[in-house]
Amino acid sequence: MRREEETQAALDRALAENRRLRAEVEQLKGALAGHSAPVPESASNDSVAVLCLPSASGIGEATAPADKGTKVAFFRSLFRGREDVYAERWRMKDGNWGYRPAGRKNWEAVLASKPEDRSKVDRQTRTLYPLTDEVIRLHLSGKKTVGIYPLLSDETCWLLAADFDKATWQEDALAFVATSKRFGLSAYLERSRSGNGGHVWIFFECPLPAALARKVGCAILTQTMEQRHHLGLDSYDRFFPNQDTMPKGGFGNLIALPLQWMPRQDGNSLFVDDSLRPYPDQWQLLASVRRVAAVRPGGHGL
Query: Using CA atoms, how far apart are residues 96 and 91, in angstroms rounded to an integer?
Result: 6
pLDDT digits (tens, 9 = 90+) for 236-280: 999 999 999 999 878 999 999 999 999 999 999 999 999 999 999
Range ranked top by mean pLDDT from 9-18, 35-44, 140-149: 140-149
pLDDT score of 132: 98
**For the domain bounded by 15-67+146-287, which CATH number is listed?**
3.90.920
Closest CA to 140 of 281, 255, 259: 259
Q: Per mean pLDDT, which range of 65-74, 180-189, 219-228, 272-281 is the poorest? A: 219-228
- Give the sheet arrangement for strand 156-164, strand by strand: 236-240, 156-164, 198-209, 188-191, 270-272
Alpha helix (H) residue ranges in the chain: 2-31, 68-78, 107-112, 118-125, 133-140, 169-182, 210-227, 261-264, 282-287
Average pLDDT, the chain: 82
For residue 267, what is the DSSP state? T
pLDDT score of 289: 97
pLDDT score of 14: 43
Provide the residue type at 66 as one letter: A
pLDDT score of 231: 56
Q: Please tell me whether the overall predicted TM-score, pTM, comes out greater than 0.85 for this model.
A: no
pLDDT digits (tens, 9 = 90+) for 114-172: 777 667 767 776 889 999 999 999 999 999 999 999 999 999 999 999 999 988 899 99
